Amino acid sequence: MNVRIPILKLYDYLLVSIQWELDDHTAIQFQEDLLSKIHQTGAKGVVIDLTSIDMIDSFIAKVLGDVVSMSSLMGARVVLTGIQPAVAITLVELGIGLNDVFTALDLEKGLEKLQSELGE
């Protein structure tokens, strides 16, 4: 079965909730899907909610870092929400460059952050 992560469009934003651990194929598919959805919709921001993820491996961490950089290049700000301790540790230990990413506690706060940063 070809599993994809659903990407919801809400006004100028895309919302994604990752609710299970991704395998490598699904992660790459997600990266492609998200970038083409940004292109299609002209979304100005993306919220990726990781609340349900309590651990990530180095490959997924890298894909996540790449998604953030690629989305920024395409003009969409990314907010990561609900990052749990072990996920934060993995990201930092691997030196994944999340400098230009916003973070927030949950989906609502992530959306609010985007709205305030994008001046609406």
Q: How many CA atoms lie within 13 A of 54 on its CB side?
A: 0
By beta-carbon proximity to a second copy, the closer residue of 7 and 98 is 7
User: Considering the rule CB under 8 A, would residue 36 count as an interface residue with a second copy?
Assistant: no
Which residues are CB-contacts of 38 (< 8 A; sequence separation ≥ 6)? 14, 46, 71, 74, 75, 76
Stretch that binds a second copy, among 14-22, 55-63, 66-74, 97-105 (CB under 8 A): 14-22
Among 111, 112, 87, residue whose Cα is nearest residue 16? 111
Rounded least distance, CB 87 to a second copy, Å: 17
Candidates 111, 118, 2; CA nearest to 49 is 111
- Please give the structure tokens belonging to residue 59: 């490959």
Piece of 8-16, 55-63, 71-79, 92-100 that binds a second copy (CB under 8 A): 8-16
Stretch that binds a second copy, among 6-14, 54-62, 66-74, 94-102 (CB under 8 A): 6-14
Binding-site size, a second copy (CB under 8 A)? 22
The residue ranges that bind a second copy (CB under 8 A) are 1-11, 15, 17-20, 23, 49, 106-108, 111
